[in-house]
Amino acid sequence: MSARIHPAAIVDPRARLAAGVTIGAFSVVGPDVTLGPGVELGHHVVLEGRVEVGADVHIGHGSALGGAPQDLKFKPETPSGVRIGAGTVLREYVTVHRATRPDGWTEIGPRCLLMGLTHVGHDCRLGEGVVLVNYAGLSGHCELEDFVTIGGQSGCPPFTRVGTFGYLGGFSKLEADLPPYMLANGVPATVRGINNVGLRRAGMGAAERRALKDAHRLLYRSGLPPGPALERLRREAPPGPAVERLVAFVAAARRGICAPPHGWRAGATAPADDVESERVGG
């Protein structure tokens, strides 16, 4: 099936369009764009520069991909681009900026959902199944691992990392790395427990979730600063791939990790995992 292009759209003849592509009215597709099979562009979509879009991606009305980074050091002639994984949905007025490095890419993985008016800054990398809720914004160089959720009107500063199945609640400000499987919210965001609801929905068994709860207690309720708490976690945490991923992420954190609600002072306590996760997570 050939591409279906609205007569009011502007598509450069050098753009590469696979079978089944649909392009809405007043959309603009530049010469260095590649659209995979079944891609659907709404009305008033702009794709400029190097943009590679995987199969069955939906890009909503008014979205703009491949624009120049909002970086004062960026040189317009830098060859860089944006990649969107297969099956991802970008709703209305999403913006994704290209990378700042020569031959660099801002990458959004497969089967992600970026809700209306969300923003992904230059050089960001999003894994599989990431969800950005309305008005969420990622600054440059952020890295979100698989199945992360960023709540509405929440922000991530440059170079922030969020581990797999991390959950940042709405109206939050992330100032440090959010470890995998953890749930955080607030200004600044603090860790309230594990993302129990999200993990259960994803099929993680009760035993593995219990191991993560035990690891959370060692890391966040011992009253120790992050370094000593990590050493205790290595010694005492129950074995398993999820806990090992948690330990590796914390050890590699360059910006530090999110604190518990009362900070890193001795004897600090936090609300119960299950109550907070059921109320906020999922």
Tokens encoding 80: 């860089």
| CATH T-level fold of 4-141 | UDP N-Acetylglucosamine Acyltransferase; domain 1 (2.160.10)
CA distance 111 to 87: 5
- Which CATH number describes the domain made up of 145-282? 1.20.1180.10
Sheet holding 46-47, edge to edge: 10-11, 28-29, 46-47, 64-67, 95-97, 119-120, 137-138, 155-156
Question: What pLDDT is stored for residue 203 in this prediction?
Answer: 97
Question: Does a cis peptide bond (omega within 30 degrees of 0) precede residue 110?
Answer: no
3-state secondary structure of 276: helix
Tokens encoding 65: 């991909």
Question: Position of tokens 């894994």?
Answer: 127
CA distance 254 to 212: 22
Question: What pLDDT is stored for residue 263 in this prediction?
Answer: 74
Tokens encoding 68: 């120049």
pLDDT digits (tens, 9 = 90+) for 55-110: 999 999 999 999 999 999 999 999 999 999 999 999 999 999 999 999 999 999 99
Tokens encoding 242: 């999820």
Residue 264 binned pLDDT confidence (cut-offs 50, 70, 90): low
pLDDT digits (tens, 9 = 90+) for 225-248: 888 999 999 999 888 999 999 999
Give rounded-to-5 percent helix, strand, coil for the chain.
20, 25, 55
pTM for this prediction: 0.92
DSSP 227-271: HHHHHHHHHHSPPSHHHHHHHHHHHH-SS-BPPPTTTT-TT----
Give the active site residues: 122-123, 140
Q: Where are the domains of the chain?
A: 4-141, 145-282
Residue 203 contacts residue 186 (beta carbons within 8 Å) = no
Residue 123 contacts residue 104 (beta carbons within 8 Å) = yes
pLDDT digits (tens, 9 = 90+) for 114-146: 999 999 999 999 999 999 999 999 999 999 999
Furthest-apart CA pair in the chain: how many Å?
67
Helices and strands: H and E segment counts in the chain: 5, 27
Reference 172, options 113, 277, 258, 233; nearest CA is: 258
Report how far apart, in Å, the C-alpha atoms of 52 and of each of 35, 55, 105, 163, 282 are: 6, 10, 10, 25, 31
CA distance 187 to 191: 11
4-141 and 145-282 have identical folds: no
